[in-house]
């Protein structure tokens, strides 16, 4: 049977791998994959939290805290990207609305000009 420390070490290693993947995806701009990794890591965090009280697992605390801090930085980065995307969506919507207002005038002017320059046939 696996000791609590061995289990904690195994979970910590798996979580570290996931946080490394998350970091790689964030740097590459694959934000959707980073979010998927965050969701996959949640059960590992839960299991680690549950095993903290077991003998020997407390010594993994500093390593767990370092991973949690990295993950929190990733979360802050994702929040900033979400804000940026929200601004970009609003800017695009405003441009679309302005185009919808102006477009009929250009369409009408283009139709009149095309009629004047049509060759008689």
Could you give the CA distance from residue 3 to residue 61 in angstroms, rounded to a whole number?
17
* pTM, 2 dp: 0.69
Could you give the CA distance from residue 17 to residue 19 in angstroms, rounded to a whole number?
6
Q: Each residue of 34-86: pLDDT tens digit?
A: 999 989 988 888 888 777 777 777 888 888 888 889 989 999 999 999 999 99
The separation between CA 105 and the C-alpha centre of its own chain, rounded to angstroms, equals: 41
Domains of the chain by residue range: 4-115
| 2 φ, ψ (degrees, to nearest 5) | -75, 135
Q: Each residue of 83-109: pLDDT tens digit?
A: 999 999 999 999 999 999 988 877 776
Please report, for residues 16, 37, 90, 98, 104, the alpha-carbon distance to residue 111 in angstroms, rounded to integers and kept in the order given.
63, 54, 32, 21, 11
How many Å is the maximal CA-CA distance in the chain?
96
Q: Is 96 helix (H, G, I), strand (E, B) or coil?
A: helix
């Amino acid at each position: 049977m696996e000791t609590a420390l061995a289990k904690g070490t195994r979970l910590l290693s798996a979580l570290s791998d996931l946080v490394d993947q998350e970091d790689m995806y964030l740097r590459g701009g694959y934000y959707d994959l980073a979010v998927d990794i965050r969701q996959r890591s949640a059960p590992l965090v839960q299991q680690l939290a549950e095993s903290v009280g077991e003998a020997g697992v407390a010594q993994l605390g500093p390593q767990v805290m370092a991973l949690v801090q990295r993950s929190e930085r990733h979360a802050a980065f994702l929040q900033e990207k979400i804000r940026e995307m929200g601004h970009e969506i609003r800017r695009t919507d405003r441009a679309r609305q302005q185009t919808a207002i102006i477009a009929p005038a250009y369409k009408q002017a283009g139709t009149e000009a095309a009629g004047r320059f049509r060759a008689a046939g």
